[in-house]
């Protein structure tokens, strides 16, 4: 993970300014996650995994102003930008660490992530989903806005063409676009959406679905069911 930390340390200060020119329909993409990040509490405990500069956390705090949110990221320079963003906020906690390895803390009502988990190797992704399940309170939700590999080489190629065209027609200069493509090729470890959904079910989540998809940009949502003792028995289900 050290190569990932170094890569994001290098781009920390300009990261937010480039987002809408790098990710197609960024606002709808992030908006779908925020919409899906449901909690019965008006002041939920939230963990932002791979929080970076705090862009997602800021949107979550607009929805839940009374929340306590922990930003966890491997890059101290990215978190330095987040510290500026949330200067004076008392309900924001910053943690530097490799979230694929460190203790996640908890319990949380919501665990969210945006454009980060796809950097992990497959087994680390799979293990992380299980670890997130374990730190969520019963009824808690894990919402992840991320990238996914196409379900076949054909679709992987089509998605790549779509993204390349978006970058080519945007305001970034050719050198910036080339650098983005270089980072994409060296840092991304995308996994098929079908595999990610299977891992979420395997982790123990009771409700799993896709609430947004634009080619390889996806938002998955998984809810941890409540303990059976908390669920009212259906009428007529009692023993004779």
Phi and psi of 141, rounded to 5°? Answer: -125, 140
Nearest to 116 by CA among 8, 195, 13, 204: 8
- Residue-wise pLDDT tens digits, 13-59: 556 777 888 999 999 999 999 999 999 999 999 999 999 999 999 99
pLDDT value at position 12? 46
pLDDT value at position 6? 43
- Contact partners, residue 233, CB within 8 Å, separation at least 6: none
pLDDT value at position 233? 42
Residue 8 pLDDT exceeds 60: no
- Number of residues written out for the chain: 240
Percent of the chain with pLDDT over 90: 76
Nearest to 33 by CA among 144, 109, 126: 144
- Which residue in this structure is represented by tokens 């008006």? 42
Pairwise CA distance, residues 83 & 6, whole Å: 19
Pairwise CA distance, residues 196 & 115, whole Å: 14
- Residue-wise pLDDT tens digits, 67-109: 999 999 999 999 999 999 999 899 999 999 999 999 999 999 9
Confidence of residue 180 (pLDDT cuts 50, 70, 90): confident
Pairwise CA distance, residues 45 & 62, whole Å: 14
More confident position, 75 or 173: 75
Confidence of residue 219 (pLDDT cuts 50, 70, 90): very high
**CATH top-level class of 2-107+123-226:** alpha beta
CB 97 within 8 A of CB 34: no
Give the three-class secondary structure for 177: helix
Write down the pTM of the prediction. 0.88
Average pLDDT, the chain: 88
């Amino acid at each position: 993970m050290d190569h990932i930390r170094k890569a994001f340390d290098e781009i920390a200060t300009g990261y937010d300014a480039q987002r809408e020119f790098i990710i197609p329909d960024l606002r709808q993409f992030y908006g779908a996650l925020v919409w899906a990040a449901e909690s019965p509490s008006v002041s939920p405990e939230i963990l932002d995994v791979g929080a970076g500069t705090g862009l997602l956390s800021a949107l979550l705090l607009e929805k839940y102003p009374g929340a306590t949110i922990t930003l966890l990221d491997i890059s101290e320079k990215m978190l330095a930008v987040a510290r500026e963003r949330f200067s004076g906020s008392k309900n924001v906690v910053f943690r530097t660490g490799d979230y694929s390895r460190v203790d996640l803390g908890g319990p949380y009502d919501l665990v969210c992530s945006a454009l980060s988990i796809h950097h992990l190797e497959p087994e680390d992704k799979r293990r992380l989903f299980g670890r997130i399940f374990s730190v969520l309170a019963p009824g808690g939700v894990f919402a992840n806005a991320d990238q996914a590999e196409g379900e076949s080489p054909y679709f992987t190629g089509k998605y790549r063409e779509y993204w390349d065209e978006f970058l080519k027609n945007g305001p970034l200069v050719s050198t910036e676009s080339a650098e983005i493509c270089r980072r994409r090729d060296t840092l991304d470890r995308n996994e098929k959406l079908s595999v990610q959904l299977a891992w979420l079910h395997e982790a123990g989540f009771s409700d799993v679905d896709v609430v947004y998809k634009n080619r390889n940009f996806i938002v998955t949502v998984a809810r941890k069911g409540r303990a059976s003792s908390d669920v009212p028995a259906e009428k007529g289900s009692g023993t004779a």
